[in-house]
Amino acid sequence: MNLQSYFITPPYFGALTPRDFRSALFKVLRTHRPTHACFRVDQTKHTLLSCFVSTCQEFGVSSYVNLAHLCASIETALGFGFIGVHAKANALLALKHIPAHLHSFYSAHSVLEVQEALEQGAHLVTLSPIFPTPNKPPALGLEYLDRLSPTQKQRVFALGGITHSAQLPLLAHKGIKGFAGIRFFESS
162-174 pLDDT, tens digit each? 999 999 999 999 9
Please give the mean pLDDT across all residues of the chain.
Answer: 95
Q: Integer distance in angstroms from the first to the last C-alpha of the chain? A: 24
User: What number is the average pLDDT over the span 71-99?
Assistant: 96
Quickly state the pLDDT bin for 148 (edges 50, 70, 90). very high
User: What number is the average pLDDT over the span 100-123?
Assistant: 97
CA pair distance 146, 84, nearest whole angstrom: 28
Task: Give me the residues paired with residue 85 across strands.
Answer: 65, 104
Quickly state the pLDDT bin for 188 (edges 50, 70, 90). low
CA pair distance 74, 68, nearest whole angstrom: 11
Fill in the amino acid letter for 178: G
CA pair distance 37, 53, nearest whole angstrom: 9
User: What number is the average pLDDT over the span 73-85?
Assistant: 97
CA pair distance 106, 120, nearest whole angstrom: 10
- Inter-residue contact 172 to 4 (CB < 8 Å): no
